[in-house]
């Protein structure tokens, strides 16, 4: 019998804590064979080699092994983990998974897949398919999926590649905080840290937004470690205190992420002198994330509707994209800026039918099905669109 979502999530978190090691990633269009690249199987990041193999793959050699996959509620089956090291290839993949699993691979794009090694040959696997489940799992282990994958190994996390200089600057700045700053101050701190390290390097709007978000996540994680250091070194005297602290940690991780992206988008748009209101104000008490050129223009019915722009901002939008549909009735075509790494073809068709245009950082376009990538806007394209309208 298949589990419901909350049981599935708790089971995945419980197993991840019990075994202490896992690899997880957002399933991309490439993993589901929707890019036309003819590269079969689920891509495994190089940083996760030790989750699947006892020895790292060597360039110039191919190697493989069979593992048994256990998905709760289904019959165990064998899959094949391969390292391709010959020729120009240098990658790990998991094959013989989709055709034996109970999942329709095309519908899994954007979902989180988790591999937990019980031992070298046996793996428990979960796929989480709602934003709430995915966020709670990632927040439980303080993971970022900004680079599409995360490796967790007895508390050691490999999820974002940072330069040594940026890591040093983050450590230095985070040590100044004895408590958590407001989200807007945290966002400002991250941008200052990044500018201090990369003062001479030019970034496109698409890349700089990702850089700011990645930097902020690591600043937050470093501050969190500093603020909670006493809890990490001293035992809890009672269960209630432990539960209270754990809930506080999870709630803060969850609330930071959504606001973080809005703060950075606000700063980015301001730097291009684009007029907007944030938050917006539309019908009744509705508060769209961003209205262009202003709330006053939206409220003025003599202002042309064709000159109004709506921009929603959501870190992920698999389920939540529908929330924006009735947030500004005067604007029929709505833009939604997201860091979502891939969405299934069915969901993309539903968005198109509702006149929702996704604005996705350019580096993430490759995670979407190839046949749909032309529909995506880059952040740079959205900025040019707004500049042309209000110049």
Angle between helix 183-197 and helix 205-227 axes, rounded to 10 deg: 110
Angle at CA of residue 354, ends 353 and 360, nearest 5°? 95
Answer whether 345's CB lies under 8 Å from 106's CB: yes
* Catalytic residue list: 298
Question: How many CB atoms sit inside 10 A of residue 377's CB?
Answer: 19
């Amino acid at each position: 019998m298949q589990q419901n979502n909350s049981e599935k999530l708790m089971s995945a978190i419980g197993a991840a804590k019990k075994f202490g090691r896992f690899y997880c990633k957002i399933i991309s269009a490439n993993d589901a064979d929707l890019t036309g690249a003819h590269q079969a199987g689920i891509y495994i990041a190089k940083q996760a080699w030790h989750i699947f193999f006892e020895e790292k793959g060597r360039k110039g050699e191919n190697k493989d092994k069979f593992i048994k996959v256990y998905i709760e509620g289904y019959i165990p089956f064998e899959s094949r983990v391969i390292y391709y090291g010959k020729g120009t290839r240098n990658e790990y993949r998991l094959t013989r998974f989709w055709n034996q699993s109970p999942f329709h691979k095309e519908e899994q794009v954007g979902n989180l897949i988790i591999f937990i090694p019980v031992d070298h040959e046996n793996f428990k696997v979960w796929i989480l398919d709602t934003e709430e489940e995915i966020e709670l799992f990632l927040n439980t282990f303080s993971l970022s999926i900004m680079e599409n994958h995360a490796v967790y190994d007895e508390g050691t996390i490999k999820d974002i590649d940072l330069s040594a200089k940026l890591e040093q600057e983050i450590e230095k700045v985070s040590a100044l905080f004895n408590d958590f700053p407001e989200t807007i101050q945290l966002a400002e701190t991250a941008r200052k840290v990044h500018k201090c390290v990369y003062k001479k390097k030019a970034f496109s709007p698409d890349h700089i937004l990702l850089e700011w978000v990645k930097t902020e996540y690591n600043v937050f994680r470093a501050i969190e470690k500093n603020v909670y250091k006493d809890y990490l070194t001293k035992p809890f005297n009672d269960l209630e205190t432990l539960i209270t602290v754990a809930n506080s940690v999870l709630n803060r991780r969850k609330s930071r992420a959504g606001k973080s992206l809005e703060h950075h988008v606000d700063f980015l748009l301001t730097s291009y002198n684009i007029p907007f209101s944030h938050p917006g104000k539309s019908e009744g008490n509705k508060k769209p994330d961003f209205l262009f050129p202003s709330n006053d223009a939206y409220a003025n019915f003599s202002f042309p509707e064709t000159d109004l722009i709506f921009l929603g901002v959501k870190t992920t939008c698999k389920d939540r994209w529908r929330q924006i549909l009735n947030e500004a009735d005067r604007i029929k075509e709505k833009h939604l800026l997201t860091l979502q790494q891939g969405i299934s073809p069915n969901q993309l068709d539903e968005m198109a039918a509702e006149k929702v245009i996704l604005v996705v950082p350019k580096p993430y376009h490759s995670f979407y099905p190839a046949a749909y990538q032309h529909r995506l806007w880059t952040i740079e394209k959205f900025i040019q669109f707004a500049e042309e309208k209000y110049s």
